Amino acid sequence: MASGLHNSDIPNPVLRWIDQRMPIFTMMQKEYGSFPTPRNFNYFWNFGALAMVNLMIMIATGIFLAMHYTPHSSMAFDSVERIMRDVNFGWLLRYVHANGASMFFIVVYIHIWRGMYYGSYKAPRELLWMLGVVIFLLMMATAFMGYVLPWGQMSFWGATVITNLFSAFPLVGEWIVTLLWGGFSVDNATLNRFFSLHYLLPFVIVGVVFLHIVALHITGSNNPLGIEPKGPQDTLPFHPYYTAKDSFGLVIYFIVFAGLVFFAPNYLGHPDNYIPADPLVTPAHIVPEWYFLPFYAILRAVPDKLGGVLMMFGSILVWFVLPWLDRSPVRSMRFRPIARICFLLWTVSFLVLLWCGGKPAEEPYVTISRFAAAYYFAYFLVILPLLSRIEKPLPLPESISRAVLGGGPLPAGAAAKPMEKA
Amino acid sequence: MADSGEATASGGTPRRDFLNLVTASFAAVGVGAIAWPFINSMQPARDVLALASTDVDLAPIAVGQAVTVMWRGKPIFVRSRTAQEIEAARAVPLNDLKDPQTDQARIQRDPWLVVIGICTHLGCVPLGQKPTDPRGPYGGWFCPCHGSAYDTSGRIRQGPAPLNLAVPPYAFTSDTKIRIG
Ligand code: HEM
Ligand code: FES
């Protein structure tokens, strides 16, 4: 478009005046109003919107907690107790923030699972998918550093163990660890920088989520059938159809969230974190937060320091190349009878790892973790590449509208288009 | 969506408008209910409110002397006024005052004057507590920030401040002790 005022059709004169000079209302209308969205979404497609709301809740509660929190090793624990006891609604802010992190991981795990099951990572959505993996890594870093802030026993020893992971790297390992610590052990300098970064990273996440959405709105959403919409008969305007569906999902999400916060606020936490940090005494059984357990189990399954660390990081980094490991042109597992079963087994291996990660590092959990970890990697590195060649997919429906509305003749325009190969 | 908006069951407001209104109202109430804990968390916490009273022992303060104590993070001026100072404060006709108040209305027991040491202009701490401080033309306090002068009753007499130095809530807990707050 040439320069000059934007040709706006917003009816309200004040909004139109703004829109002509800065067409944000036109953009909102295009991206969230009339945006053509596949008509066959199921509830798995709610989780991106839920993640967005969850991110905003984390930022809001976090900013208000930071008004009362003191990032000093001799005052942090007490300042958190003060938030719980003295600050008006401090208990609510803290419980919403802590359980919000758990809710965030639940939501994002389901969101990722959706992407894997329905093949949303495949062309043309590879970059969208990879931005999602970046978001997930940033979330893990943010959550880890957040858990250090209350400066309880689990904070301190979790920080010690996780930062020491980097010491496994040859040559630079020790240097990296000292750099993370700002000293020779986890101490006040570590706490200070973790607070600074814990405040920063969520805003970096906001930035990457924005890019994630930009990429989504170029390719458009995938859908449970994994076939592209062929015309207007296959889509609905985002508003009101999916604003309404997302709002309904949001209400259910809030009910679950409120249930956790008000009835089991410490269920997902660890009681040892209500003991102030003590650099001289390690708790008998240190475990990370539940959402890190699958990766922690992989770490412990490998009887070699560097090997364990590499496998642990590799278990997430492998997601980056998933679009190129799975070469099958069929996206949705609904039409891949063998891959579907293998993927559901992968889901089981993930949950088994989650369970083993919370158990002590002894038999039978170690052996179970090894089998589960082996399958976790085999799915990505062996099964998917192999199935891409040998699996015979079920026939794909002709179009979304055909599949969801049942038979009937295709509208002329759509029928004229060649049937999608994928 | 024009068609769905026109579905009028009983000839009144379209049903869609009614639903929109109800939904929006519920959302508004929800947002308000969520906003309140956030706003309230910024108000003084309970440990701050617990520090809300301060005890002062008056026995060591000689006539003509003044001490400054902290109450809720603010300076409180406690002055044992001389007979002349009390005399001067009571001799002033009320209509000479910018914020008319008798000296008797501002004290509980002679010779004690207890005021919050914050200039009512823009919040500086006026001079006049130490013997070496300038006390301004009215012998009370003088605010160096923008030149407000207070008299021996802490009343504003000259300069931009609109009000007298405020009297905090306090009570005598014995003949020589007060509790502020
Ligand atoms: C802060 C975390 C995240 C936020 C706020 C977020 C937000 C969103 C939103 C709003 C959508 C569109 C709605 C939907 O399809 O559900 C979306 C789509 C998508 N997200 Fe995320 N996301 C996050 C994390 C992730 C992660 C960690 C991954 C993968 C590793 C991921 C992968 C995808 C993919 C592949 C799509 C397109 C799905 C499709 O159209 O089928 N996202 N995201
Ligand atoms: S603040 Fe005292 S005169 Fe302005």
Show the domain range for B20. 3-40
Contact between residue A223 and residue A41 where contact means Cβ atoms under 8 Å apart: yes
| CB neighbour class for A185 (10 Å; exposed up to 12, middle 13-18, buried from 19) | middle
Q: Are residues B17 and B103 in the same domain?
A: no
Q: Are residues B26 and B86 in the same domain?
A: no
Report CB contact under 8 Å: A92, B46.
no
User: Which of B23, B40, B47 lies closest to A89 in CB terms?
Assistant: B40
Q: Are residues B109 and B162 in the same domain?
A: yes
Which pairing describes strands A235-237 and B54-57: parallel, antiparallel, or unpaired? unpaired
Instruction: Cite the active site residues of A.
Output: 217, 221, 245-246, 289
Q: How many domains does chain B have?
A: 2
Confidence of residue B10 (pLDDT cuts 50, 70, 90): low
Percent of chain A whose pLDDT exceeds 70:
96
Q: Has the ipTM of the complex gone over 0.90?
A: no
CA angle A264–A270–A273, rounded 5-degree value: 120
pLDDT of residue A17: 95
Q: Are residues B36 and B64 in the same domain?
A: no
pLDDT of residue A275: 94
pLDDT of residue B16: 85
Q: Distance (Å, rounded) from C-alpha A296 to C-alpha A288?
A: 8
pLDDT over 80 (residue A408): no
Percent of chain A whose pLDDT exceeds 90:
91
Index of the ligand 1 atom closest to the CA of residue A216 = 37
Q: Distance (Å, rounded) from C-alpha B141 to C-alpha B131?
A: 11
Q: Are residues B15 and B56 in the same domain?
A: no
Q: Which residues, in sequence order, are CB contacts of A112 under 8 Å at separation 6+?
A: A132, A136, A319
Q: Are residues B64 and B141 in the same domain?
A: yes
CA angle B111–B112–B116, rounded 5-degree value: 150
Cα of A400 to nearest chain B Cα, Å: 22
Give me the total of CB pairs closer than 8 Å, taking one residue from chain A and one from chain B: 36
Name the β-bridge partners of B66.
B79
Q: Which of A30-39, A113-122, A369-378 has the lowest mean pLDDT?
A: A30-39
pLDDT over 60 (residue A410): no
Report CB contact under 8 Å: B46, A89.
no
3-state DSSP assignment of residue B140: strand
Region B82-92: what's the mean pLDDT?
94
Tell me, yes or no, if B47 comes closer than 8 A to chain A by beta carbon.
yes
Q: Distance (Å, rounded) from C-alpha A203 to C-alpha A96?
A: 19
Q: Are residues B36 and B61 in the same domain?
A: no
pLDDT of residue B1: 39
Q: How many CA atoms lie within 13 A of A339 on its CB side?
A: 29
Q: Which residues, in sequence order, are CB contacts of A310 under 8 Å at separation 6+?
A: none
Written as six digits, the tokens of B174 are 């014995």
Cα of B35 to nearest chain A Cα, Å: 10
Question: What is the per-residue pLDDT across A142-157, written as a single tens digit (0 to 9) for each?
Answer: 999 999 999 999 999 9
Q: Are residues B176 and B121 in the same domain?
A: yes
pLDDT over 90 (residue A420): no
User: Which of B38, B40, B46 lies closest to A60 in CB terms?
Assistant: B38
Percent of chain B whose pLDDT exceeds 90:
80
Residues with CB under 6 A from ligand 2: B 119, 121-124, 143, 145-148, 159-161
A90-117 and A126-148 helices cross at what angle (nearest 10)? 150
| Residue having the nearest C-alpha atom to atom 3 of ligand 2 | B146
Q: Are residues B12 and B81 in the same domain?
A: no
Q: Which of A207, A188, A203 lies closest to A148 in space, CA to CA?
A: A188
Calculate the average pLDDT of chain A: 93
Q: Are residues B70 and B134 in the same domain?
A: yes
pLDDT of residue B11: 57
pLDDT over 50 (residue A248): yes
Confidence of residue A175 (pLDDT cuts 50, 70, 90): very high
Report CB contact under 8 Å: B45, A90.
yes
CATH of the domain at B145: 2.102.10.10
3-state DSSP assignment of residue B40: helix
Query: What pTM value is reported for the model?
Result: 0.85
pLDDT of residue A421: 40
A331 touches ligand 1 (CB under 6 Å): no
Q: Is B121 one of the annotated active-site residues of the chain?
A: no
Q: Are residues B9 and B75 in the same domain?
A: no
Residue A219 CA to ligand 1 centre (angstroms): 13
Q: Give Cα A167 distance to the centre of its chain.
A: 27
Ligand closest to Cα of A134 equals 1
Q: Are residues B34 and B53 in the same domain?
A: no
pLDDT over 50 (residue A417): no
